[in-house]
Amino acid sequence: DFNYRVHGNRAIVDRLLARREEAEARAAGWASADECAREGLRVLLRNDQLTLQRRSGAVFRGLVEGEISFRPTYKFDSKRRDVYDQSEKARIPAWTDRILFAPGRATEPDPDTAVQLHAYDSIASLTTSDHRPVVADLSVRYELGAGAARPQAADADAKA
């Protein structure tokens, strides 16, 4: 849980995050409601403090993050878990929950990169907190040191 937020004003952020019906999005000039939603996220990410700090080289040098294609994960209202903060503070929704990782010796998009990201998403349905958890599906290539035992493949036909 980082404390990086999104620069902006709550009313504008709410408009960018508003879910549009297909007809409403098309009337506003979008090809689809999904395209409208993606553009709203792109605008917010351009104002995301962690993204800005990383691009400037100020923090987390050498770490990478998957593409964020999910809605902000913080701060959800304590009474209505499906809406962003409605308290007096009315915090601006942000991606405070992130997964950064070291890619290993090689660099993207090399298929031999030590760490490969397969998926990066939030779990919007898990509503037990004012945060939504974030999950990354990663595979890690590694070399065993000299003398290390190799893992044995599980034999589906083996009997206990």
Which two structure tokens, joined as six digits, stand for 152? Answer: 């044995």
CA separation for the pair 76, 43 (Å, rounded): 20
Average pLDDT over residues 83-102: 92
- pTM of the predicted model as reported, rounded to 2 decimal places: 0.78
Amino acid at residue number 71? R
CATH 3.20.20.80 fits 10-140, yes or no: no
3-state SS class at 5: coil
Max avg pLDDT among 26-35, 37-46, 109-118, 142-151: 37-46
Element (DSSP H or E) covering residue 101:
strand 100-101
Half-sphere exposure of 90 (CA within 13 A, CB side): 8
CB 42 within 8 A of CB 68: no
Query: What residue segments make up the domains of the chain, in order of their start?
Result: 10-140
CA separation for the pair 151, 59 (Å, rounded): 37
Average pLDDT over residues 57-76: 94
CA separation for the pair 49, 38 (Å, rounded): 19
CB 102 within 8 A of CB 151: no
Per-residue pLDDT at 154: 64
CB 65 within 8 A of CB 17: no
